[in-house]
Chains A and B, each alone.
Chain A
Amino acid sequence: MILNVDELKFMYRNKGILDEIAFSINEGEIVAILGPNGVGKTTLLKCLNRILVPKQGVVSVCGDMIDSLELMEIARRIGYVPQRVETGRLTGFDAVLLGRRPHIGWDVSEKDLRIVESAFRTFGINHLRLHYIDEMSGGELQMIAIARAFVQEPKILLLDEPTSALDLKNQIEILHRINSIVEEHNIAVVMTMHDLNTALRYADRFILLKDQSIHICGDRSVITADEIEAVYGVPVMIGELAGVTCVIPQCLCNGNGKKKKIPTDEEGSTYVRNS
């Protein structure tokens, strides 16, 4: 058990955001946090490495309570990739080298440079080393941000929507790289996600948030059509396509693919369960 969360509660001003959150994560696991917009996925992620300080509850990493650790020590154990990173007139290499910050004393050592060099090769982004990051595409920037978190050499990696800015090819590429590095180095990954299909394909365990707390938590078997509808309020179908589990919203189309007139229920929602 590498990360343990118990009785976590977070309030923003007087508004409760998270309540009674408890789960634990083991080495080598990829955990997806799922749930609708605004349910507190990002907040939960930020509570795990003390970017936000929870109102109450315990988070422990590798057996140490997180509020007993120095910020730098937390950064040596947990890496974090936010949804959005700022750019500037610096090269990709500079940007990734920044990930060595928690390990740097007065200045970078040869070892730091070697680690960053190797990260560029591992991620297959060698061509970006001397590109300025303010001229990069969203996908390239995301690759740089994730590479930065990896050279931090953390035990746990927190990713906030790692694939939302990426096209299909980049999504797959990044998640494959994350997957292989998790296997090779036995670290744990916690990521928030919107795309249920990508989550189902790459994550080992799932945490579904609803109404400030964990609705359900577990492996692939907990992801059922009923649970997804309960969390997202949208009826879905789950099936298999060539052995891969797929989730799609129940269709508002009729058989030949043409849109029907979108019906509404009594609450005004456009989604109505197909009878």
Chain B
Amino acid sequence: MHFADGELPEDYLKYTHRKVIWILGGIGVLFLLLILSISVGAVSIPPYEVFMTLIGQNVTDKWDRIIWNIRLPQALAAIICGAGLAVAGVAMQSILRNPLASPFTLGISNAGAFGAAVAIIFLGTGRMTSTTAGAVIINNPYLTTISAFVFCMLATIAIIAIAKIKASSPEVVILAGVALSSLFTAGVMFLQYFSDDAQLAAVVHWTFGDVGRAGWSEVIFMGIIVIIACIYFIANRWNYNAMDAGDETAKGLGVNVERLRNVGMIVAALVTAVLVSFLGVIGFVGLVCPHMTRRIIGDEQRYLIPGSIVMGGVLLLASDTVARLIVAPYVLPVAILTAFMGAPIFIYLLLRGYHR
């Protein structure tokens, strides 16, 4: 042993404990927010009764139905979607060594939207029956998901290839993302032009990302995928730390950088594809959450990845709660709110420069 006689570094442990406390605090906030989010709405339910219902006490049958059938799945969908997009964003930022990378800015979300539109129109997997919320019926969610996933993967492969060719330039990757976004948006418009009314309504309604359209089976499916992805990225936190120190350093530390990049991008794209195909395009969460977390607890991936996951859940759940209330009695799809919120933050990041 070269250095066997060291002491435990008290000051460093204190520094890392502070980060752990931030993350635990975030989980606490998330829980309180969950109760608050369920308690507010067209029918308000006192938070205490919400809590009692959630731990299995039957307060009244009516509240039971509202909570278990409507509000809880929507709140959980918001948390899962926020967490999934945030973890995909933080991984993409590290993989592409680019602070502006996220599922949305790289065009992957829009590619998924195009894939879903293809499935809805050509494969007939969805149509719209009436104009009330939740009227979009995706008959075959798995086929829609698969189609969205295929196009997400195509966009991902294009991004990886471009990043490889022009590795040193962050602008190129983002501009390529802009190009892919417009390409797929154009594709969606093309499909819409030739679709019938019901399909058109389904596609348009579908692209407003909304966490309210998820039922329990979608929530469980998304939950499983997002949890697997979170476990994968957390398990690889040391490898991402190594990659952040530079490819050569990472290779010197025994990390298989190419494999880590490719598998990481595929997992991030898979999460994006599943979320996009069930909930529609929800922008900027994957970009903004990692940066808010970086500001609070730094770039160290051991804390950044879990921190971003919690931050994503908190941010999207809060946004969805606000979206449900802001123009009550109408319910705004959350994607509209995140775009309003995210765009200024994105511009701020551009102005502040590319330093992470």
Contacts and interface: CB of A to CB of B under 8 A. Distances in A.
Interface stretch (B46-54, B65-73, B75-83, B248-256): B248-256
Given A88-B299, A115-B3, A129 B252 contact: no
Given A71-B255, A82-B252, A118-B6, A89 B294 contact: yes
Interface string A167-186: 00000000000000100010
A76 interface: yes
Contacts of A118: 3-7
Given A80-B249, A90-B299, A145-B249, A101 B11 contact: no
B134 interface: no
A72 B254 contact: yes
B2 interface: yes
Interface in A221-263: none
B162 to A, nearest CB: 20
B238 A114 contact: no
B241 interface: yes
A130 B15 contact: yes
A51 B255 CA distance: 10
Interface centre among B1, B15, B235, B249 (most CB of A within 10 A): B249
Interface residues of B, number: 36
A26 to B, nearest CB: 19
A139 to B, nearest CB: 17
Contacts of A86: 97, 244-246, 249
B3 A80 contact: no
Contacts of A150: 2-3
B298 interface: yes
Given A75-B252, A134-B355, A98 B245 contact: yes
A158 B235 CA distance: 28
Interface in A86-139: 86, 88-91, 93-95, 98-99, 101-102, 104, 106, 110, 113-119, 121-122, 129-130, 132, 134
B12 interface: yes
B289 to A, nearest CB: 16
Interface centre among B4, B11, B97, B238 (most CB of A within 10 A): B238
Q: Which 10 residue pairs spanning A and B have beta carbons closest together?
A: A75-B254, A118-B6, A80-B252, A114-B6, A118-B3, A117-B6, A88-B299, A82-B248, A72-B254, A89-B299
27 contacts: A46-B248, A50-B251, A51-B252, A71-B251, A71-B254, A72-B254, A74-B254, A80-B251, A81-B252, A82-B246, A82-B249, A86-B244, A86-B245, A89-B300, A91-B15, A98-B253, A101-B241, A101-B253, A101-B255, A102-B254, A113-B6, A115-B3, A116-B6, A117-B7, A118-B3, A119-B3, A129-B9
